[in-house]
Amino acid sequence: MMYRSNRLILFGLLAAWPAIAEENMDIDLIPRAIQDQMAPVVDRAPASGPRQRIYFENANTLASLRAGLLVPFPSQRPPTWQEEFFIDARKEWSLLKNFNFAYSGRMNLRVEENLPIPRTENVRHDFREGYLSWEALDRTYLDLGRINLKSGVALGYNPTDFFKSRSVVEALSSDLTVLREDRLGTLMGRAQHVWAGGALSAVFAPRLFNPRSIYTNLGLPSFNPMFDRTNAHGRVLVKGNANIAGGVSTEFLIYHEGNRFQLGANVTEELSHNIVGYAEWAGGRRASLIDDALRYGKQTGSIPVRTPSALPEDGHKSFQSDLSVGASYSTETRITFNLEYHFHQAGFSQRDWNNWFNSGSGLPAYLSRVPAQLWYIRSYALDQQEPISTHTAFLRADWVDAFFPKLELTAFINIDLFDGSAFVQVTADYYLSNAWTVGGLVTRNFGKYRSDHGSLPQSSALLFKVARYL
């Protein structure tokens, strides 16, 4: 019996021999350096630890502008070239037991068309964060200082990211994931408790300054923390999150700013092995974007108080919603797509767009205040990080190791669903080594002259960058 069994095993092994030999061929794929157990030689920067990131970056931008805009651009047009060099630092220090201090900022040196050297505006420090953190009890924290507080789960537009307004100083990219990297925090006190099932946070940000007019590219101060951007209103936020069974994760928010209440909610769910669905909603009583913009312009002196409005004002407030709903889909070839629909009820309707174009086109020169107001509304929306249109769609693709290893391609398109006009950005980053990255991006506004993106002064732009991480 044993003899027969051994014969069967031997017989089986002989029959399986080609498969085993093939199995051993996988070893040939292992590089010689590993097989010989040689120490890897890698050009890598010195270990700095996970609590800091410091890097230099040089970026050159070239832009082409449109001629013959339907609504003439009232002020100095955007620059056609820009050169920017900056040092960006983020670092945390452990102080006494349970005390930490965090700093985050960027020192910029910039030259651009209409901003020659030397001017004080050539040098600018963006003080993003500086705060003290104390773990008063186990996983109960008190934070005080300038904190960059971000909420939301969507990629293209975050209705519940209540502290985003006026926080972006100067954008080198329109990709929201990049914009968030250089935005100013708000002076606040924050209490937070994290436990196994969720987290609860309460935030209070005091009003310390009066609102000031929207900063222009040439009017950015050199060494000014610009707290007027972030602390012009008293703000309170309470938010909590919890995981619900079945792979659903939720977050609920209550926000108060000035005399305005807002509620918010975030939900994410794993829909399949490759798909995550998410939705983000915020709602509260507010005026329309047009009313808010014109009121703010008059409040800060950008628009003369007695000037008649260029667009019909509604005046009344109502409950208005903001929504981002979308899904991410990842492929086996390392591409992740995000498709989102954005709804901004206070934004421009089709009638508002018609009014915007009808009011601003074909005007005599002495009525230049009209295009000034019209463009002010759009710059207000940009400053507040609000979409200008009520209905927009967003598609983003991120491809890791695209075509060859260490090349990352990112592209996104933002489409105004009223007129089909779009903003497109394609970014390429090549990680030359652990320390060096080279990259570039191309942007273009597509659309007819009488459309959201087709009416903008900038047609396309090209940016090259080199970064060195320390």
Partner 1 sequence: MFFRSGLLPALVIGFSAAAYGQTAQEIIAGTDRVRNPGQPFHSIDILTEYVSGRPKAQSHLAVYSKEDPSTRQFRNLIVYIEPPRDAGKMVLLDGHYFWFYDPASKASVRISPQQRLIGQASVADVLIVNLAVDYRGTLVGTEAIQDADRREHQCWHLDMKAADDRASYNRVEYWIEKGTFYPIKGKFYSDSGRLLKILYYKAFQDRLGGVRPTVGIIIDAVDSALVSTINFLEARFQDIPDAWFQRDYLPRLKAE
Residues 316-345 that bind partner 1 (CB under 8 A): 328-334, 336
CB 158 within 8 A of CB 177: no
**Binding residue (CB under 8 A) for partner 1 from 68, 272, 305, 362:** 272
Q: Which C-beta is closer to partner 1: that of 138 or that of 308? A: 138
Which stretch, 13-21, 119-127, 227-235, 318-326, contacts partner 1 (CB under 8 A)? 13-21
Q: Total number of residues binding partner 1 (CB under 8 A)?
A: 93
- Positions 242 through 261 that interact with partner 1 (CB under 8 A): 243, 246-247, 249
Q: Does 137 bind partner 1 (CB under 8 A)?
A: no
Which stretch, 107-115, 147-155, 228-236, 370-378, contacts partner 1 (CB under 8 A)? 147-155
User: How many Å apart are CA 223 and CA 226, to the nearest integer?
Assistant: 9
Burial of 135 (0-12, 13-18, 19+ CB in 10 A): middle
As measured in angstroms, the least distance from the Cβ of 184 to partner 1 is 12
Q: Does 438 bind partner 1 (CB under 8 A)?
A: no
User: How many Å apart are CA 406 and CA 437, to the nearest integer?
Assistant: 10
Which stretch, 9-17, 317-325, 343-351, 357-365, contacts partner 1 (CB under 8 A)? 9-17
As measured in angstroms, the least distance from the Cβ of 349 to partner 1 is 30
User: How many Å apart are CA 156 and CA 389, to the nearest integer?
Assistant: 14
Q: State both tokens at 88.
A: 């960006």
**Binding residue (CB under 8 A) for partner 1 from 33, 132, 144, 438:** 33
As measured in angstroms, the least distance from the Cβ of 398 to partner 1 is 9
Which stretch, 88-96, 224-232, 283-291, 357-365, contacts partner 1 (CB under 8 A)? 88-96
Q: Which C-beta is closer to partner 1: that of 112 or that of 129? A: 129
Residue-wise over 404-441: b if at least 16 C-beta within 10 A, else e? eeeebbbbbbbbbbbbebbbbbebbbbbeeeeebebbb
Q: Does 31 bind partner 1 (CB under 8 A)?
A: yes
Q: Does 96 bind partner 1 (CB under 8 A)?
A: no
* Residue 8 φ/ψ region, left for φ over 0, alpha for ψ in the -120 to 50 degree band, beta for the rest: alpha
Q: Does 365 bind partner 1 (CB under 8 A)?
A: no
Cα Rg of the chain, angstroms: 27
Task: Report the candidate in 109, 53, 56 with the shortest Cα–Cα distance to residue 87.
Answer: 56
Q: Does 430 bind partner 1 (CB under 8 A)?
A: no
Q: State both tokens at 225.
A: 């923390």
Q: State both tokens at 273.
A: 């092995």
Q: What is the DSSP letter of 381?
A: H
Burial of 191 (0-12, 13-18, 19+ CB in 10 A): middle
- Positions 165 through 184 that interact with partner 1 (CB under 8 A): 177-178, 180-181
Which stretch, 73-81, 142-150, 218-226, 310-318, contacts partner 1 (CB under 8 A)? 142-150
User: How many Å apart are CA 352 and CA 309, to the nearest integer?
Assistant: 13
Looking at the chain, how many residues does it have?
470
Q: Which C-beta is closer to partner 1: that of 2 or that of 305? A: 2
**Binding residue (CB under 8 A) for partner 1 from 265, 400, 411, 413:** 400
Task: Report the candidate in 321, 327, 343 with the shortest Cα–Cα distance to residue 267.
Answer: 327
As measured in angstroms, the least distance from the Cβ of 197 to partner 1 is 8
CB 285 within 8 A of CB 255: no
Residue 261 pairs with which residues in a beta bridge?
256
Residue with tokens 């936020």: 237
As measured in angstroms, the least distance from the Cβ of 270 to partner 1 is 5
As measured in angstroms, the least distance from the Cβ of 424 to partner 1 is 21
Which stretch, 210-218, 273-281, 285-293, 305-313, contacts partner 1 (CB under 8 A)? 273-281
Q: Which C-beta is closer to partner 1: that of 201 or that of 455? A: 201
Specify the amino acid at residue 321: S
Which stretch, 72-80, 412-420, 426-434, 449-457, contacts partner 1 (CB under 8 A)? 426-434
CA distances from 299 to 208, 214, 292, 303, 304 (A): 17, 11, 10, 8, 9
